[in-house]
Amino acid sequence: MRTMIQTIQAGNYGIVVELGDDGGGSITSNLHESIDTCDSEEALGIAKWNSAMDGIEAMVLAHACAGVRIDSSEYREGLETALDSLSNHAEELGN
């Protein structure tokens, strides 16, 4: 059973990574959008957006597990830039 040994907050968006004693971890964030009250076309765009956010979360978690300082100002700036870029291309995702 994994014992969580460290909690790290990275940037805005409620990103929290918990690292375990087994080298793994988990991540939570506010990056995803809800599709509960959307029509089917809008829901498809949001599902695509959420898939992109899954990728961002996976990258952040992998970096944290590898020992990268995801709470550093440089990392937060890079994360913000990546999220801004995705947001600028949201129309292409159908969002």
Torsion of CA 56, 77, 84, 11, to 10 degrees: 60
pLDDT confidence of residue 36: 79
What's the pLDDT at 41? 79
The alpha carbon torsion through 67, 70, 75, 80 (nearest 10 deg) reads: 140
Q: pLDDT tens, position by position, for the chain (95 residues)?
A: 678 789 998 878 899 999 999 989 999 999 998 887 778 878 888 888 999 999 999 999 999 999 999 999 999 999 999 999 998 877 766 55
CA-derived radius of gyration, the chain: 15
pLDDT at 93: 61
pTM (two decimals): 0.86
